[in-house]
Amino acid sequence: MKIETMRKIDYGVGIPLSFILTCLKFLFPSRKLQSEKPKRVLFIELSEMGSAILADPAMQRAVNKHKAEIFFVIFKRNKASLNFLNSVPEKNIFTVEDTSLLSILIGTIKLMLWCQKNKIDASIDLELFSRATALLSFITRAPLKVGFHNYHGEGLYRGDFLNRKVQYNAHIHIAKNFIALVDAAFTNEHQVPYLKQTISDEEIQIRKVAISDATKEKVSGVIKGLYPSYSSGQKILLVNPNASEFLPQRKWPLDNYTQLIKIVLEKHPDYLVLMTGAPSEHAEIQTIEDAVRSNRCFNFAGKVAFSELTALYTLSKVLITNDSGPGHFSSVTNIRSYVFFGPETPLLYGSLGNSSALYAHMACSPCVSAYNHRKTPCTNNMCLKVLSPEWVYEQIKPSLN
């Protein structure tokens, strides 16, 4: 289902349904908590693959500090993002097919039964003011329902299902907001608003993954198939020129990528450039390869499996990407990454890895937030266009060297 269609359903159907169920929620009482603190916690995050990485410190906190068993519900097409860090046991992951409204309704009914079977104690809604996930929190019938709340802000109505209402803070990193949700589920102190505590930068450190030699050898073989002289130690610049359809304004112009790659190849003859992306993005990325015309620049979209991306990041030296999944996926390795920001701010959504933001700090930026459901009227993303290939090269040059 298209993103815009989902937004319209969330607004047109979500608001009246949230109101009706809020009025009738006494007919569907939550189960009672059987212990002093929750033991089985469900995280709800449907649509953003990168958020599964950003939420990992919060999930680890639930497991290691609060000794909880964790569960997760996510759209089926995004499930692979949970495999990067294997935060959640496979048996504890519930996927929803989002190809149509009917498939979502069927998935919702199955989720309700699944939550009953697993006796979920607390649901933690990681989405930003989504009515759909608020309704999912309600149907879990969990004793504790935790999520972001707007308090005295107008709009963003999504019913009254939460009993642990956390103050969303747009001035701290989203990973800290996620930790606030977790700790709110486990505190015995009634607070208005939740959560009255400090969360340090050290508490949102991302875990690194171990990649097997076999996987690295497999990916190396794919690279060698394109560039026969490739050998261990070859310097590789990864370029991800695409972004999800959720917010296409996050894209740096393709012509700029072309010019940047030409500069890198000219000034760094020891570098190989691989342009990554999903198989569906192959044709668009091919236009860059055709324009660059170099035997050291390759369209690598779809060449390796999603699960093998960590090996590719480990074999590479530098990554440059739009503000999208790869900026977060790469954070589980030590690769040096540079991420373009414009419609959103790196202060809130910056990668937790070895990363730097490429950001123009324009007066209109960021133009999307939780308060406008991350939808912008902008049709001319000057916040990214003003970042010239020459300027970007100067920012990444120290890492290339």
Fill in the amino acid letter for 8.
K
Q: What is the DSSP string of 102-135?
A: HHHHHHHHHHHHHHHHHT--EEEE-SSS-HHHHH
**pLDDT per residue as tens, the chain (401 positions):** 777 788 888 888 888 999 999 999 888 888 888 788 999 999 999 988 888 899 999 999 999 999 999 999 999 999 988 988 989 999 999 999 988 889 999 999 999 999 999 999 999 999 998 999 999 999 999 999 999 998 888 788 899 999 999 999 999 999 999 999 999 999 988 999 999 999 999 999 999 998 999 999 999 999 999 999 999 889 999 999 987 677 889 999 999 999 999 999 999 999 999 999 999 999 999 999 999 999 999 999 999 999 999 999 999 999 999 999 999 999 999 999 999 999 999 999 999 999 999 999 999 999 998 888 888 899 999 999 999 999 999 999 999 98
Q: Return the CATH architecture of domain 213-400.
A: 3-Layer(aba) Sandwich (3.40)
Per-domain boundaries in the chain: 3-204, 213-400
| HSE of 197, CA atoms in CB hemisphere, 13 A | 17
In 3D space, the residue among 45, 50, 4 whose CA is nearest the CA of residue 324 turns out to be 50
Q: How many angstroms separate the CA atoms of 220 and 208, rounded? A: 20
Instruction: Identify the pLDDT of residue 217.
Output: 95
Cβ(82)–Cβ(72) below 8 Å? yes
Q: Do 3-204 and 213-400 fold alike per CATH?
A: yes
Q: How many angstroms separate the CA atoms of 243 and 250, rounded? A: 7
Instruction: Identify the pLDDT of residue 50.
Output: 85
Q: What is the DSSP string of 265-311?
A: HHH-TTEEEEE---GGGHHHHHHHHHHH--TTEEE-TTSS-GGGHHH
Q: What is the CATH number of domain 3-204?
A: 3.40.50.2000
Angle between helical axes of 14-24 and 131-139 (0-180°, round to 10): 30
Residue 176 to residues 46, 57, 58, 172, 180: CA-CA distances in angstroms? 19, 9, 8, 7, 6
Q: How many angstroms separate the CA atoms of 98 and 246, rounded? A: 14
What's the DSSP call for residue 224? H
Per-residue burial over 26-55, b if 16 or more Cβ lie within 10 Å, else e, is: eeeebeeeeeebbbbbbbbbbbbbbbbbbb
End-to-end distance of the chain based on CA atoms, in angstroms?
44
Q: How many angstroms separate the CA atoms of 148 and 143, rounded? A: 17
Backbone angles phi, psi at 144, to 5 degrees: -115, 130
Q: How many angstroms separate the CA atoms of 75 and 240, rounded? A: 23
Instruction: Identify the pLDDT of residue 6.
Output: 81
382: helix, strand or coil: helix
Backbone angles phi, psi at 27, to 5 degrees: -80, -15
Q: How many angstroms separate the CA atoms of 225 and 272, rounded? A: 13
Residue 17's CB is within 10 A of a number of other CB atoms, namely 16
Nearest-10 Cα torsion for 260, 265, 270, 272 = 70
